[in-house]
Amino acid sequence: MDWLVRRTTVGCVAACMGALMAVCHAAPWSTAQIGVDTQGDATIEADSVAITATTGDIWGPADTAMYVYQEASGDFDFSARVADYQPANPDWGKAGLMVRQSVDADSANAFINLTGNNGLKLIFRPTTAAETGPGDAGVSYPDQVHLRMTRAGGLVTAFTSPDGVSWSEAGGGTGPSAEIAITDPVVFGLALSSNDPAVEAGITFDMFGGLATPVEPQGKLAVVWSSLKARE
């Protein structure tokens, strides 16, 4: 197991008209430097997350990546906008939304990712230490694209949108969905690889959707997420 975990707590205040749950676009995140010789950092603000990374690739039977994530149980629906992306390797550096069984380098995972020159697609490692695929190029995407990932058991589906309102299933590769061997709890969040150990990549995500955190009585805010807001 090659990883380093650091936990960062970001507070959030949300009113919910007497309900117990409130949508919250800032919450405690953890960061992991996954794999061998991974370097990187994350700047976590109330409404954005900026990540830098100097790594190998997210590919093969094991990954090297900078990962900013939450732990969750049950099905979820999570989205974010790519506000700015500076790939290091223009062909196969990768960034996007990822769900994993764990932060172990060889964990099963699914990853809706964009590259500089090879488009956007869903890739996945179906089981621990299996090969990642598919290997073909993805589809084109607009600047500041919105990414969305849903989980239903082991089925992960990827979507894209130019505006965060009208969503389409992500094309490219073997299609928008993948079945992977994951069981609760899982980790999900934001991943970045430079695919060049000598050059730093950077990405900023914002406009998060589908996130919720419990609001305790008298304005107290729970430290750890326990729920995700389901889309209707």
Q: Which domains does the chain have, with CATH numbers?
A: 3-12+22-228 (2.60.120.200)
The pLDDT assigned to 19 comes to: 29
Choice between 31 and 13, residue whose per-residue pLDDT is larger: 31
Reduce the secondary structure of the chain to three states and give it as a string: CCEEEEEECCCCCCCCCCCCEEECCCCCEEEEEECCCCEEEEEECCCEEEEEEECCCEECCEECEEEEEEEECCCEEEEEEEEEEECCCCCCCEEEEEEECCCCCCCCEEEEEECCCCCEEEEEECCCCCCCECCCCCECCCCCCEEEEEEECCEEEEEEECCCCCCEECCCCCCCEEECCCCCCEEEEEEEECCCCCCCEEEEEEEEECEEEEECHHHCECCCCCEECCCC
State the residue for tokens 């430290």.
Answer: 223
Overall average pLDDT of the 10-15 stretch? 34
Please give the average per-residue pLDDT across 102-131, as a whole number. Answer: 97
CA-CA distance, 217 to 220, in Å (whole number)? 6
pLDDT at 12 over 60: no
Give residue 136's pLDDT: 84
- The residues, ordered by sequence, that sit 6+ positions from 41 with a Cβ below 8 Å of its Cβ are 31, 51, 52, 66
In this predicted structure, the answer to whether residue 225 has a pLDDT above a threshold of 80 is no
Report the residue count for the chain: 232
Q: pLDDT tens, 40-96?
A: 999 999 899 999 999 999 999 999 999 999 999 999 999 999 999 999 999 999 999
Over the stretch 162-204, which tens digit does the pLDDT of each residue have? Answer: 999 999 999 777 789 999 999 999 999 999 999 999 999 999 9
pLDDT at 129 over 70: yes
**Rg of the chain over all Cα atoms, to the nearest angstrom:** 16
For the chain, the farthest-separated pair of C-alpha atoms sits apart, in whole angstroms, at: 53
Average predicted confidence (pLDDT) for the chain: 83
Output the pLDDT for position 135.
Answer: 86
Closest CA to 155 of 185, 129, 176, 128: 176
Percent of the chain exceeding pLDDT 70 equals 79
Name which residue leads in pLDDT, 2 or 165.
165
Place of tokens 């695929």: 133
Query: In the predicted model, is pLDDT for residue 215 greater than 90?
Result: no
CA-nearest of 123, 120, 127, 186 to 152 is: 186
- pLDDT value at residue 16: 30
Question: Can you give the pLDDT at residue 28?
Answer: 82
Mean pLDDT score, 195-214: 85
**pLDDT on residue 4:** 52
Q: What is the pLDDT of residue 211?
A: 64
Q: Note the pTM of the prediction, 2 decimals.
A: 0.82
